[in-house]
Structure 1
Amino acid sequence: MGRHRRPPDPLLPADTDARLDAIAGRRAVVEEGVVVFPQSAVPYAYRTVHRPDGGVDRYLERLEPPSPHLPL
């Protein structure tokens, strides 16, 4: 007889609260920030828009360092 393993519980997306807030409040919920992915030194700006219809729009843009020729 083989061993039967229980399948793992499905993981909920990290943005479940924001998505439910957008649906319940009937308004868009926007999350913005900067992230650096593991094993990378490049920062990215992100924007996530949770729409009232349950949809999600995600934007990710690489942030380039300023040119050394520009005065600060």
Structure 2
Amino acid sequence: MRTVGRHQRPPDPVLPTDADARLDAIGSRRAVVEEGIVVFPESAAPYAYRTVHRPDGGVDHHLVRLEPPPPPLPL
């Protein structure tokens, strides 16, 4: 552990990227839901994601690969 000298500032704390949503869920006592679609650089397939921030401070993550629709049936 590094000690802080007289003229040095301690490093800024690193907060999670979803700190605002977590605090909103805890403060409002209701679940906060974030949803969207993402395409990762390693893949061409899109994914649907859903993150639920619970009022107890917990987080549920859901990630589902979106498959292309099947081709139309011949008539």
2:15 corresponds in structure 1 to 12
2:5 corresponds in structure 1 to none
What whole-Å deviation, never above 9, does each CA across 1:12-65 have from its counterpart, x for those lacking one?
Answer: 221110000000000000000001111321110000000000000000000000
2:59 corresponds in structure 1 to 56
* RMSD (Å), alpha carbons: 2.1
Question: Aligned partners of 1:11, 1:52: CA distance in 2, in Å?
Answer: 22
Find the residue that maps to 1:35 and give its secondary structure. Answer: strand
TM-score normalised per structure 2: 0.76
Identity among equivalent pairs (%) = 79
Matched positions, count: 65
Question: Aligned partners of 2:60, 2:42: CA distance in 1, in Å?
Answer: 26
AA paired with 2:64?
Answer: E
Moved over 4 A (4+): none
Q: Which consecutive residues of structure 2, in runs of 5 or more, have no partner in the other structure?
A: 1-10
Structure 1 residue 23 and structure 2 residue 26: aligned? yes
Find the residue that maps to 1:33 and give its secondary structure. Answer: strand
TM-score normalised per structure 1: 0.78
Q: Which consecutive residues of structure 1, in runs of 5 or more, have no partner in the other structure?
A: 1-7
Which protein shows a greater Rg? Answer: 2
